[in-house]
């Protein structure tokens, strides 16, 4: 049995504090008041609707990411218990992904993957990212309508194409890879809350797995530069990745790298357009772009929360979290914690000491952070350079119903251009 009311405050069963409300349209549009209430009223909160603890203070989020177990992928038995044994293939892929492992299995996988993804390799991608961004903007300008959907026209294809190149698969496959990974991301963002939706992702996972196994087989005959080949040849102390591990981690890298980067670009553009003085500051000083990207990641974090399991009975914020209970660490709430960030609801592109939680913390700190930062920086540099005027339209904005991965369904903009 899970405790419902918190022994310390008696408020743990306050239904209005449930993260479940993230599906309410007004909370989805602006979750930060809910996060503020959680942080101030019940920072280590038992959410009876999600059957999980919800942790919202910066320091507590770090403790959870640092000390708690990441081994939370649902097992095939879990799906059997749900009456959906056919979903087992999803579990078999997830348990091989680094995101869902603890040391020593995680350390082994990450150290085998690390040589495939060094900052030096990322630097090589810089010119390509710049060219892809320029081509996408050329396409928008060629239409000559003065209007665009920043999401569909730029923020989705940019990471999708970059990811295909990074993996070393044919670039023309980026559309289907994007489709499959969007379906998988829908589950990753929501699975603690909506296990029923898992059946929908089954075919995406099967397609992705088959695709990567075929790519591995093709590259055995004809190697191609990229992450797949690096995974295939990585060796640490005689240890190699199996084909299943390569496919599973190509999937997590691809999914992890697309939706989030897309959302960094659109959420970031929206934040800038809602803060014209900050946008003007950035236009006046391109040197501010790297710190602006960090602040945009803090302010509207693309990955709002993640989950862990308590390794033992643990005391946190005066509450006892029982061994194996689920804990949702809300990075986006920690990123607005006034104990850590002065005036946290203010967008300040020059903010110093900005060690935000948007890429997570500790062992699972985002594997692709150097690439994400580079893509974000190039995207904003190019957008501001090529579009001297950018403006929101009066069309309403809708957020995706994905609790973990925060992003818009579309971002219609008008522009004035420099060709
Ligand atoms: C703005 C873009 C991105 C954001 C906000 C982001 C966020 C995150 C976060 C929060 C985690 C940790 C999750 C946890 O601890 O449970 C993570 C892990 C990960 N990310 Fe990213 N990510 C981004 C881009 C990328 C890119 C471009 C790639 C690949 C090229 C990538 C690949 C991964 C992988 C493989 C992991 C798992 C690392 C591990 O478990 O050791 N991410 N990311």
**Residue range 303-319: average pLDDT?**
96
Closest CA to 183 of 244, 254, 245, 243: 254
Residue nearest to atom 17 of ligand 1 (CA): 366
Residue 392 pairs with which residues in a beta bridge? Answer: 413
| Per-residue pLDDT, 196 | 59
Q: Mutate which of 248, 260, 262 to test ligand 1's pocket (most atoms within 8 Å of Cβ)?
A: 260
| Per-residue pLDDT, 355 | 98
Whether residue 8 has pLDDT greater than 70: no
Whether residue 254 has pLDDT greater than 80: yes
**Residue range 389-411: average pLDDT?**
93
Give SS3 for 370. helix
Place of tokens 């191609």: 224
Strands, E, within 135-285: which ranges? 147-149
Which atom belonging to ligand 1 lies closest to the Cα atom of 264?
Answer: 1
- What is the Cα–Cα distance from 391 to 417, expressed in whole angstroms? 12
Closest CA to 7 of 322, 314, 318: 318
Residue 404 banded pLDDT, cuts 50, 70, 90? confident
Mean pLDDT rounded to a whole number for the chain? 90
Hey, what CATH class is 15-416 in? mainly alpha
Residue 416 banded pLDDT, cuts 50, 70, 90? confident
Residue nearest to atom 11 of ligand 1 (CA): 366
| Per-residue pLDDT, 139 | 97
Whether residue 4 has pLDDT greater than 70: no
Place of tokens 């029923």: 196
8 A C-beta contact, residue 84 and residue 198: yes
- What is the Cα–Cα distance from 150 to 139, expressed in whole angstroms? 12
Using CB atoms within 10 Å of the CB of residue 55, give its burial: 0 to 12 exposed, 13 to 18 middle, 19+ buried: buried
* Alpha carbon of 373 to ligand 1 centroid (Å): 11
Between 192 and 347, name the one with better pLDDT. 347
Residue 3 banded pLDDT, cuts 50, 70, 90? very low
| Per-residue pLDDT, 349 | 98
Domain boundaries, the chain: 15-416
Q: What is the pTM of this model?
A: 0.93
DSSP secondary-structure letter at 154?
I
What's the gap between Cα 308 and its chain centre?
16
- In this predicted model, what pLDDT tens digit does every residue of 78-132 receive, in sequence order? 767 767 677 777 888 888 889 999 999 999 888 888 876 777 778 788 889 999 9
* Alpha carbon of 212 to ligand 1 centroid (Å): 20
What is the rounded end-to-end Cα distance, in angstroms, of the chain?
63
| Per-residue pLDDT, 357 | 98
**Residue range 404-419: average pLDDT?**
90
8 A C-beta contact, residue 109 and residue 241: yes
- In this predicted model, what pLDDT tens digit does every residue of 206-247 receive, in sequence order? 899 999 999 999 999 999 888 899 889 988 778 888 999 999
**Residue range 324-352: average pLDDT?**
97
* Alpha carbon of 307 to ligand 1 centroid (Å): 14
* Alpha carbon of 319 to ligand 1 centroid (Å): 29
Distances (CA, A) of 292 to 21, 268, 349, 356: 30, 9, 4, 13
């Amino acid at each position: 049995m899970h405790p419902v009311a918190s022994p310390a405050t008696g408020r743990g069963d306050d239904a209005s504090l449930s993260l479940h409300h993230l599906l309410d349209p007004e909370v989805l549009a602006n979750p930060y008041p809910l996060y503020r209430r959680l942080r101030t009223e019940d920072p280590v909160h038992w959410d009876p609707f999600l059957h999980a603890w919800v942790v919202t203070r910066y320091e507590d989020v770090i403790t959870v990411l640092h000390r708690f177990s990441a081994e939370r992928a649902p097992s095939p038995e879990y799906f059997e218990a749900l009456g959906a044994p056919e979903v087992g293939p999803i579990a078999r892929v997830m348990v091989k992904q680094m995101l869902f492992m603890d040391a020593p299995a995680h350390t082994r996988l990450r150290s085998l993957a690390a040589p495939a993804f060094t900052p030096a390799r990322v630097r090589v991608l810089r010119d390509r990212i710049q060219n892809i961004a320029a081509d996408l903007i050329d396409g928008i300008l060629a239409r000559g309508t003065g209007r665009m959907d920043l999401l569909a026209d730029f923020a989705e294809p940019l990471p999708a194409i970059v990811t295909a190149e990074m993996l070393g698969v044919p670039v023309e496959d980026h559309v289907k890879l994007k489709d499959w990974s969007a379906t998988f991301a829908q589950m990753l963002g929501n699975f603690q809350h909506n296990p029923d939706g898992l059946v929908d992702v089954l075919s995406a996972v099967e397609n992705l797995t088959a695709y990567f196994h075929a790519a591995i087989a093709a590259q055995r005959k004809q190697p191609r530069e990229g992450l797949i080949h690096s995974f295939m040849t990585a060796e640490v102390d005689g240890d190699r990745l199996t084909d299943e591990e390569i496919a599973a981690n190509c999937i997590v890298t691809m999914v992890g790298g697309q939706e989030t980067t897309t959302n960094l670009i659109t959420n970031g553009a929206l934040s800038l357009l809602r803060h014209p003085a900050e946008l003007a500051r950035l236009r006046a000083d391109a040197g501010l772009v790297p710190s602006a990207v960090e602040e945009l990641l803090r302010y509207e974090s693309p990955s709002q929360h993640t989950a862990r399991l308590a390794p033992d009975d643990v005391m946190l914020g005066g509450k006892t979290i029982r061994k194996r209970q689920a804990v949702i660490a809300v990075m986006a709430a920690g990123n607005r914690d006034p104990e850590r960030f002065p005036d946290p609801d203010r967008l300040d592109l020059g903010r110093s000491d900005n060690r935000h939680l948007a890429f997570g913390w500790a062992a699972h700190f985002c594997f692709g952070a150097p690439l994400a930062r580079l893509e974000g920086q190039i995207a904003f540099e190019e957008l501001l350079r090529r579009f001297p005027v950018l403006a929101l339209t009066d069309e309403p904005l809708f957020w995706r119903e994905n609790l973990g991965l925060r992003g818009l369904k579309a971002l219609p903009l008008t522009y004035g251009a420099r060709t």
